[in-house]
Amino acid sequence: MYNPSHFEETRIDVMHELMRQYPLATIIASTAAGLVADHIPLQVVLTDEKKGKLIGHVARANPLWQIDPEAELLIVFQGAQCYISPNWYASKPSSGGKVVPTWNYAVVHVRGKLKALHEAHEILPILNALTQRHESSQAHPWSVNDAPPDYIEKLLSAIVGFEIDITHMQGKWKVSQNRLEQDRTSTSAALMQLGDTNARVMAKLIPD
């Protein structure tokens, strides 16, 4: 990923937080059939290794889990993103119109190798962790234990769990850092006025 130094994010905790907030990742693999991409919700788990690991699961019919365990995967987490209009720049009048549109975004690229997990006692903790994470905002959170045991047992045989030890992380926060302070302020204000959640998140990412 092209990543100029003024957009580079190196703080692991900040990258982990984006991965938690936007868990639907794109897993890209190079296979004998060419490049393939799968969109899988993942959860970052802290380990003794500072970068941590990712856990998830796929249908047993999905060939992703059959990839060479030594093959390196690229996993992309896409955070907030917004079109930025040059009309929002406070410096536009004094610049003689020398402003152009751009696109702001925050992303994390992760690399690692996939380890497939087939046993029920290995997969069930992954299901529980993902369920607890995403049900936590519900008034009455659903639990895996709410479903009949024989139903869960049948489902477990139809999926494969996996974990990916993170070997490399690269963060890119393209959030108007290269603009004048007055442009950052005016852009943030314009995004807040749009009213949608994604724009408000981006507005808060723009530095003062």
Looking at residue 103, what is its pLDDT?
98
* 87 within domain boundaries: yes
Structure tokens belonging to residue 192: 């807040």
Residue 71 lies in a domain: yes
User: CA 202, 137, 120, 59 torsion: positive or negative?
Assistant: negative
Work out the pLDDT band at 97, boundaries 50, 70, 90. Answer: confident
Torsion, Cα of 73, 79, 83, 86 (10° steps): -110
Residue 16 forms part of a structural domain = yes
CATH code of the domain in which 137 resides: 2.30.110.10
What is the pLDDT at residue 194?
A: 94
3-state secondary structure of 110: strand
Nearest CA to 172 among 129, 124, 110, 113? Answer: 110
Tell me what the mean pLDDT of segment 168-188 comes to. Answer: 97
What pLDDT does residue 32 have? 84
Question: Does 124 fall in a domain?
Answer: yes
What the block records as the tokens of 17 is 């937080």
**Quick one: pLDDT at residue 49?**
81
Domain count, the chain: 1
Q: Whole domain around residue 168: which residue ranges?
A: 5-178
- For 142, the 3-state DSSP assignment is coil
Q: Would the pTM of this model clear 0.75, i.e. be above it?
A: yes
Tell me which of 95 and 185 has the higher pLDDT. 185
Work out the angle between the directed axes of helices 197-205 and 181-194 (0-180°, nearest 10): 160
Cα torsion through 203, 184, 87, 196, rounded to 10:
0
Does a structural domain hold residue 27?
Answer: yes
pLDDT value for 96: 86
Of all residues in the chain, what percent carry a pLDDT higher than 70?
100
Residue matched to tokens 């720049």 = 89
Is 125 inside any structural domain?
yes
**pLDDT (tens digit per residue) in 12-53:** 999 999 999 999 999 999 988 899 999 999 999 998 888 999
Q: Quick check: is 56 in a domain?
A: yes
Query: 26 in the Ramachandran plot: left (φ > 0), alpha (ψ -120 to 50) or beta?
Result: beta
Calpha distance 13→18 (Å, rounded): 9
Residue 205 lies in a domain: no
- How many CA atoms are closer than 13 Å to the CA of 124, on its beta-carbon side? 11
117-131: per-residue pLDDT in tens? 999 999 999 999 999
- Position 205 scores a pLDDT of 97
Quote the tokens at residue 41: 């919700």
